[in-house]
Structure 1
């Protein structure tokens, strides 16, 4: 009975997390697009919307993990897929680094999407596309530095997971490039927009993170 009750509680917790994530994602996407359009307003291209959405996912991940890290007992053990608040406290340094990295990276990706969309529409953006791209590159350097710093504190399990995530990302990018590029070359599909390439890269990494964690059972209800 205790085991069944624990499993039921775990699934309820996961359902609540999914509902909160979906609501935050939908609300954030709508609010974000409305906010960056400004008073003049302009039509977003499909490629820029997709990139903005991917950036929003990274940013929301950073926000949720950050809130959970700051308040592990009040929010963390409810928002995050952990056994209890003590697990968050033990991994606070790594989780805080991940939260900051994801939040800043997501913001930089959304900024690039906004700048490119505004430039295509011929209206003023928060920054120029070139500056947005430079900001993203700078953030990527910082993100890499954080990853290297975190690597030193990883145990063997986490290091192996990072290797698997890298492998999944690389193979997924290879598969997409071959199929999409080949189809475009023979006229079966339209070639990718430059923003699509950025979306595919960050989207593949995001998918690989969930796939790798799921493969090792780290996505199971807890």
Structure 2
């Protein structure tokens, strides 16, 4: 089928230009390539599309009937390509996206509203949540995510970097033995985020240490909740 579609487009151009050489120039193909595609089309379907002579090239009855369909095919393809070209030049429609709630008033969120102002024909819906959302199941087009991407068929692109650090309330530190090495942190009482793994990695240069908290009395589902705790 793919070979036939290509050959039909070339056949229509030959009929329009009146010769294989003229069609080749218009399509930027060699005359032999143009002739090969038309001949292969004729062979596959057992018909002659052109009457060939040293002076002229004319359509057979079968060629005349096929030409109308070939022209419609080419016109439909051009119409479709022009339609997507218009879309890419001037975006329009609905865009549903989700981002972590703590990005409110961040440069990333401001970039979203700048996009909305730049393209007034796009209706933007932003759902702010620290929960991991299934984009396909819940009908979202895009998402801003933090951390390593899990295996996915979805496309992703890095738009920035961030660093996480450990913090503690001074009043809490007064109640425990001062941690001297990273492993001592495992005995501290942590506030954990529901959407993140309990085990976390501390890194300095090329050195990495994995910490698995031994206890945590507080589990929250949002960054703002973790800050409050």
TM-score (norm 1): 0.20
Kindly indicate whether structure 1 or structure 2 has the higher relative contact order, using CA contacts under 8 Å at least 6 residues apart.
1
Structure with more of its chain in helix, by fraction: 1
Structure with more of its chain in strand, by fraction: 2
TM-score (norm 2): 0.19
Q: Which has the larger radius of gyration?
A: 2
